[in-house]
Amino acid sequence: MLIGAAMMPHGNPVLKPEDEGTRKLAEALKEIGEEFSKAEAYVIISPHNIRMSEALGVIMAENLISWLGFGEVQLPGEYKTEKELAREIYQRAKANGLPVVDINFASLSGEYSRFPLTWGELIPLHFLEKRPVVLLTPARKVSRATLVEFGEVVGEVLEEYDKKVAFIASADHAHAHGNGPYGYAPEAKEYDELVMRIIQENRLEKLLEIPDELISKALPDSYWQLLVLYGVLKKVPMKVKLAEYACPSYFGMGAALFVRE
């Protein structure tokens, strides 16, 4: 059963907050962790594992291993994949004709079946109690409708699963706020404000109306995962319990917690 869903950032400022907005964001992440302590497994969709443009991925490796630090922060950790759940997501998506692939490395099972975890997974996991994980990867060149449909499939599978599961969209927002490697674009602020308003109002269907040009100029790292989250919540409607935002650097970060009515 799906017990809750969340948007969680993966920017390292939340690990050591230096301003009030980021401190509030980190407190929200701790609250998400408390809510999800009831879960027996997590499903995380993250843009920073394997990168594929035209196919969605389900990681089937048995062992998920911390790969390297990010921003001089080390987050060691080893997690097991909830393989039965991963297999069901893959098979159901495949049966629905979605462009999905299953991904393993070195060995089909056992200690040599290993896959690296990056900051995209480790920073959200830092705020959660340790549980088995299913790791998913989005794709930016599949249609919006496909991403939403994949989320619907995931939502169906999680709702039918015999364990309590939480779904997490690992997502940082626009990367063009200035003072960073991607320069400045006014669309960054526009995108972040729009997305956070959509989330706060729990009207994720409005994500489909965001123009391609705005996304292209704002340089977000969230849009595609949020469409999958929207699909999940279409199948299992939930209410918004909290939403926080901060922009201490060149990229925006947001957290949101969705719980059952």
Tens digit of each residue's pLDDT (9 = 90 or more) over 176-195? 999 899 999 999 999 999 99
Taking alpha carbons only, the member of 260, 244, 251, 247 closest to residue 29 is 244
Tens digit of each residue's pLDDT (9 = 90 or more) over 146-178? 999 999 999 999 999 999 999 999 999 999 999
Whole-angstrom distance, CA of residue 17 vs CA of residue 255:
14
Strands (E), the chain: 2-8, 41-45, 56-59, 63-66, 78-80, 100-103, 114-117, 133-137, 165-170, 238-246, 253-260
Instruction: Name the residue type at position 12.
Output: N
Q: Say what percent of the chain tops pLDDT 70.
A: 98
187 touches 176 (CB < 8 A): yes
**Cα 162 from chain centroid (whole Å):** 22
- Whether the predicted pLDDT of 261 surpasses 90: no
CATH fold for domain 2-260: Protocatechuate 4,5-dioxygenase; Chain B (3.40.830)
Report residue 71 as tokens.
């921003």
Whole-angstrom distance, CA of residue 99 vs CA of residue 206:
24
**CA angle (120, 22, 117) in 5-degree steps:** 15
- What pLDDT shows up at residue 74? 73
| Residue where the block lists tokens 């701790």 | 30
- Whether the predicted pLDDT of 70 surpasses 70: no
* Mean pLDDT to the nearest integer, 15-25: 96
Q: Where are the domains of the chain?
A: 2-260
